[in-house]
């Protein structure tokens, strides 16, 4: 689905260079300068999901029928429209199921979330570590996954976090 979004005529209305500049990524003329794959993935995620042109994001403007999406791709497009970013704490690993049990630190009212991620669940189980993860949560058919890019923090970074209060 993502390659079809990039090829969609709508994407031409969303200037990636402007999106990158909004993220303060370095540029040279009309060339983006990425420090690595994480910068590229973060820029692409921002460009598709957050950067607004005419009051809307690219993902909001995509039309599944005009893009020729298969039914499962159209379903994923809707899942991306409903997605959200947050900071999660990995509290348990279930390597046999390829899942990580997460708690949303910024929006605890969402309760525990079981993230399906083969690589992450395997790494966390192997190294027996708990991490904080900032990513876009995409949910479809009861399966929770990332949009592809995650920012990882050590658990001691949690000390600097404050959770919203009911009075805020």
* Residues in Cβ contact with 154 at an 8 Å cutoff, skipping those fewer than 6 apart: 131, 132
Q: Which domain holds residue 132?
A: 83-160
Residues 7 and 57 both lie in one domain? yes
Given 58, 81, 104, the domain boundary residue is 81
At residue 156, the pLDDT reads: 76
Give the pLDDT of residue 81.
Answer: 96
Whether 102 shows a pLDDT value over 70: the answer reads yes
User: Quick one: 9 and 54 in the same domain?
Assistant: yes
Whether residues 119 and 154 fall in one domain: yes
Tens of pLDDT along 113-140? Answer: 999 999 889 888 888 778 899 999 999 9
Per-residue pLDDT tens digits for 27-84: 999 999 999 988 898 999 999 999 999 999 999 999 999 999 999 999 999 999 999 9
Residue among 65, 62, 64 nearest 47 (CA) = 62
State in Å, rounded, how far the first CA of the chain is from the last one.
38
Question: 100 pairs with which residues across the strands?
Answer: 93, 115
């Amino acid at each position: 689905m993502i390659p079809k979004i990039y090829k969609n005529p709508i994407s031409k209305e969303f200037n990636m260079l402007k999106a990158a500049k909004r993220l303060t990524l370095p540029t040279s003329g009309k060339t983006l300068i990425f420090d690595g794959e994480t910068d590229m993935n973060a820029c692409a995620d921002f460009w598709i999901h957050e950067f607004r042109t005419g009051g809307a994001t690219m993902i909001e403007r995509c039309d599944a029928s005009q893009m020729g999406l298969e039914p499962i791709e159209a379903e994923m497009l809707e899942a991306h429209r409903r997605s959200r970013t947050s900071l999660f704490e990995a509290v348990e690993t279930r390597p046999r199921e390829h899942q990580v049990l997460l708690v949303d630190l910024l929006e605890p009212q969402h309760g525990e979330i079981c993230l399906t991620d083969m690589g992450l669940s395997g790494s966390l189980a192997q190294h027996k570590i708990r991490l904080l993860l900032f990513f876009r949560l995409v949910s479809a058919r009861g399966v929770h996954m990332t949009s592809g890019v995650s920012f990882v923090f050590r658990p001691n970074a949690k000390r600097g976090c404050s959770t919203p209060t009911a009075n805020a």
